[in-house]
Structure 1
Amino acid sequence: MRTTHLLYLHGFRSSPASVKARQMAAHVAQQHPAVSFWCPQLPPSPRAAMQAVAQGIAGWPRASMAVLGSSLGGFYASWVAQRMGCPSVLLNPAVDPARSLERYIGEHGTWQNPGERIYFLPEYIGELQALDTRGLPAAAPELLIVAKGDELLDWHEMVRRYPGARHIVQEGGEHALSSFAAYIPEIARFLRLA
């Protein structure tokens, strides 16, 4: 079955204007124009973010959809894939964001628009815990792309979290995965974009 609907989920403090989201959107538009591509702006609340995503994909065909997520978006992508039974691509995914984001409680600027403020509230830690799918078998094929040089997250932890996934482990690199464009053809093949 070819993928006809692709969901992209951005990371913490990021947006649909991120480099990776724009690169993926451009590739789909140019090379796979029949594919419906959606990268929503996710609110800081994990519960609200996944409610919005669930509503947005409610009418999508489960048999031909896929999800791609970066960092916190990778954590969310695992939740979507588990819920929808669809393939997923995980880019330097947050494995335990309830732990890693605890120190970010408070006000922050966003990466693409530093003047824009978001508020990460203490109750969001519990919301993240409620979305954690660790310990559940993968519902569909997974592709994990990690950089050993990730300065925010431990690549060993990512590899351990997704033992059954297809692994691409990049020497060096960084959390932002600036080499992402080089992996797009492989992602397109893995997801069998229509």
Structure 2
Amino acid sequence: MNIFYCHGFASAFDPDKPKIQRLSELGPVHGVDFDFTQPAETVVERCMAALLEHDIDLVVGTSLGGWLANAAGSRAGLPFVAINPSIDPAKTLMRHVGKGVDHQGKPYELEASAVLSYSPFRLAGCGLILLDEGDDVLDSAQTASLCKPRFEVVSFPGGSHRFDHMEASLPLIDTFFHRASLVYGLDDD
């Protein structure tokens, strides 16, 4: 299983992060840094190019990266796992409009026009939604309510926005991928 990981807003792809290390137990994990201050279509196109470049089988993302995993995965016909995804980024990103500093200490400037380009979470494609009920940034109950009619949703009690249940999620992701492989005709070795 060749995995692509989409990080969240003001973050970066870091293969040494515990979440990525856990995911790598299922297969190689690739990623790139995304600039979410750019319009949504620019970000999605960058992700689509990376999916092709790395011959990806599964797209995984957290927070705004969960939104991106959904957008790019459903567009590319790839299964995706959205972890504590942003379901309405045009709303939740508004609090970051203006100048700020990302988690790596680099300054950024986010314009309202870029934020408004982010559409709601798509109810399309083949996805698994993983939620920590203790997420203090995004409303996990609202996400579950939106996604349950269309996707498999697994909620864990407690946890945080960064997602504290990756180890417990590995068997769920593996099972989901093998089921999705049958649907998409992927090589699930």
1:150 aligns with 2:135: yes
What is the aligned partner in structure 2 of residue 89 from structure 1?
A: 81
What is the aligned partner in structure 1 of residue 181 from structure 2?
A: none
1:51/1:26 CA distance change after superposition, 3 Å: same
| Range that drifts further, 51-60 or 158-167 | 51-60
Alignment of 1:165-176 (within 5 A): 165-176=151-162
**TM-score of the pair, normalised by structure 1:** 0.79
The question of whether the paired residues in 2 share the 8 Å contact of 1:6 and 1:67 is answered with yes
Hey, which bits of structure 1, 4+ residues long, moved more than 4 A?
A: none
CA offsets 1:8-67 (integer angstroms, 9 cap, x no match): 101111111287xx33543455x45xx453111001213332221122223565xx7211
Residue from 115, 129, 145 that aligns with 1:160: 145
The question of whether the paired residues in 2 share the 8 Å contact of 1:85 and 1:139 is answered with yes
**TM-score of the pair, normalised by structure 2:** 0.81
1:38/1:60 CA distance change after superposition, 3 Å: closer
| Cα distance in structure 2, aligned partners of 1:23 and 1:117 | 25
- Please give the secondary structure, in 2, of the residue aligned with 1:101: helix
Alignment of 1:1-194 (within 5 A): 4-17=1-14, 22-27=17-22, 29=24, 31-32=25-26, 35-44=27-36, 45=38, 46-59=40-53, 65-111=57-103, 113=104, 115-129=105-119, 132-134=120-122, 136=123, 138-140=124-126, 142-163=127-148, 164-192=150-178, 194=189
Paired residue total? 177
| Cα distance in structure 2, aligned partners of 1:108 and 1:187 | 34
Letter in 2 for 1:8: Y
Q: Which runs of 5+ in 1 are unaligned?
A: none
| Cα distance in structure 1, aligned partners of 2:67 and 2:51 | 17
CA offsets 1:83-116 (integer angstroms, 9 cap, x no match): 01211111110010101111210122222x2x21
| Cα distance in structure 1, aligned partners of 2:53 and 2:153 | 31
Q: Percent identity, aligned pairs only?
A: 23
Root-mean-square deviation (CA, aligned residues, Å) is 2.3
Q: Which structure ranks higher in relative contact order (CA pairs < 8 Å, sequence separation ≥ 6)?
A: 1
Cα offset for 1:70? Answer: 0.4
